[in-house]
Amino acid sequence: MIMRLLLAVSSTRAIILLSIWISIVLGILLPLDSCLAAPKAADLVKDGQPIDIKQKKYQQLFKELREKHHFTSQELDDIFTGQRISRRVLELMDKQWEARPYYKYAPLFINDRKITTGRAKLAQYKEIFDRIEKEIGVDREIVAAIWGIETRYGSHQGRFNVLQTLNTLFDAYPRRAKFFRNQLIHFLLLCKENGVDPKTVKGSYAGAFGQTQFIPSSFRAYAISFDGDDKKDVWNSVPDVLASIANYLKAFHWVFSAPRYAELGHELKDKRLVAAKLKGRKGRVPWQIVHDYQNPNIPPSPGNRPLSIIGLELPPGSKYGFRYVAGYPNFQAITEWNHSNRYAMAVCELAEKLAAPENKARTRKK
């Protein structure tokens, strides 16, 4: 019976089942992780492996695209025929930078080259940033910092074919297949709406594209035209790029010139702060508690909204293991862009480096 079962599953899964069976029958105490650890998505495919668009999930996708979004069968054949797996996409999905400790993560984005280039961009596009602050209400240094971190101020928009990437993640990344199915639909819709050939778009290994590195649903929700035409061009139009970044943050309640974070020291002094920190980016604690138990000098929170508690890893050999900060609502808005607290902190600290002296005087950074 066990051999029939093994023949019915993939060779990788068969090895796992065989390990468990041997340990049971022979009484060998194999480490649990070695028996039960699931193979990574990249281990189950070959690079360039054809995607079977006749499988049920693709046929259901095509039915939805035809009936709900009015794609023709010919259009779908042209788009999907010949799609293949990118194994590299799957490998990178399990090695995302945000998992690195902050002392290794931050220098990737906060360095002399990014600071020098960012200050030059702020000067070059001063009139655009003036309009953004006046009309959208988002601080220019934050917009520039996100632009710099995402695509090196537009110079590095990604080398992966977005159509292949989204198909790969829908077909061969089970953990988030539903999410990437939705992104694939949004991608095809935005291409149709904006006259873009879906086969030509390049982007990141996670399906983000343009100088904004929007995922498809974010593009459709937040991209705007800011250069006088009706086209939302996050690839080539700097006004559209910068205004779209600002529009995203505005949608998540950015408050102009308001605090972003406050320093809390190297030890959390109340269990409610510890609990909030352990919950990650969704953890919140009332401002009054942070003020009363941790730091009486922190600035007020807009609308008296609660704060996040973030622990940032310090290098080995440091006197303390962590540096703690309170994330204000503006900090929380950045985590809606990227769900990593480390990312949001890097944006805030790069923005501080980019700010001209006169801008530092009018904004409260801590």
CA distances from 4 to 13, 14, 25, 26 (A): 13, 11, 17, 20
| 294 lies in some domain | yes
| 322 lies in some domain | yes
| 319 lies in some domain | yes
289-295 average pLDDT score: 97
- Rounded mean pLDDT of the chain? 89
| 315 lies in some domain | yes
Residue 215 has phi, psi (to 5 degrees) of -75, 160
pLDDT given at position 94: 83
pLDDT at 18 over 50: no
**Would you place residue 1 in the very low, low, confident or very high pLDDT band (cuts 50, 70, 90)?**
very low
pLDDT given at position 98: 64
CB count in 10 Å sphere of residue 77: 12
| 273 lies in some domain | yes
Least confident range from 5-9, 216-220, 325-329: namely 5-9
| 346 lies in some domain | yes
Rounded to whole angstroms, how far apart are CA atoms 190 and 196?
Answer: 8
Q: How many CA atoms lie within 13 A of 269 on its CB side?
A: 11
**Would you place residue 10 in the very low, low, confident or very high pLDDT band (cuts 50, 70, 90)?**
very low
Rounded to whole angstroms, how far apart are CA atoms 300 and 322?
Answer: 24
Q: Are 187 and 162 in contact (CB under 8 A)?
A: yes
Least confident range from 19-23, 78-82, 86-90: namely 19-23
pLDDT given at position 39: 83
The amino acid occupying position 281 is R
What is the extent of the structural domain holding 21? 2-39
pLDDT given at position 27: 43
**Would you place residue 6 in the very low, low, confident or very high pLDDT band (cuts 50, 70, 90)?**
very low
| 32 lies in some domain | yes
pLDDT given at position 356: 65
Number of domains in the chain: 2
- Kindly state the tokens that stand for 12: 């990788």
For the chain, the C-alpha Rg in angstroms (whole number) is 24
Summarised one tens digit per residue, pLDDT across range 30-70 is 444 444 567 888 999 999 999 999 999 999 999 999 999 99
Summarised one tens digit per residue, pLDDT across range 115-132 is 999 999 999 999 999 999
227-249 average pLDDT score: 96
| 203 lies in some domain | no
Q: Where are the alpha helices (DSSP H) in the chain?
A: 2-7, 11-26, 32-36, 56-67, 73-80, 87-93, 102-105, 112-124, 126-135, 140-151, 162-172, 177-194, 216-222, 238-251, 271-278, 287-293, 329-337, 341-354, 357-362
pLDDT given at position 359: 52
Least confident range from 141-150, 281-290, 354-363: namely 354-363
* 56-67 helix and 177-194 helix, angle to the nearest 10 degrees: 40
Q: Are 141 and 355 in contact (CB under 8 A)?
A: yes
